[in-house]
Amino acid sequence: AGTVILELSKEKAAERLLERQAAQFGAAVLKVEAELSAQIRYLTQVATGQPHEGSSYAARKGCQLALNRLEYARRRLGELQRGCQQLLEA
């Protein structure tokens, strides 16, 4: 952008150079816009807890839920065992 402005400030701007630099600037802006859009999409997925490329969130959550179910089953089996023992002792 700076080069384009410098070229425009000259009395006889080289049109081809000016057009090429303007096109390069436009391409650079499009590239930055695409990269920013990709980052925004990624951050939206991360912030909302959605699974995303490179994420281990879903696997960790599944594992944690399985561990919670296992702990519940152990606790419930312990209660059943104590209940059975009380019945046998009575």
User: For residue range 17-53, what is the model confidence (pLDDT) as tens digits?
Assistant: 778 888 999 999 999 999 999 999 888 877 776 666 6
Name the average pLDDT for the chain.
Answer: 84
pLDDT of 24 reads 92
Residues 38 and 75 reside in one and the same domain? no
Residues 44 and 59 reside in one and the same domain? no
**Residues 46, 38 contacting (CB under 8 angstroms):** no
Residues 44 and 18 reside in one and the same domain? yes
pLDDT of 66 reads 95
Residues 15 and 37 reside in one and the same domain? yes
Residues 1 and 33 reside in one and the same domain? yes
Which residue's structure tokens are 């980052």? 39
**Residues 58, 51 contacting (CB under 8 angstroms):** yes
Task: Extract the tokens encoding 72.
Answer: 């519940």
Higher pLDDT, 73 or 87: 73
Domain that holds residue 82: 55-89
Residues 42 and 19 reside in one and the same domain? yes
pLDDT of 20 reads 84
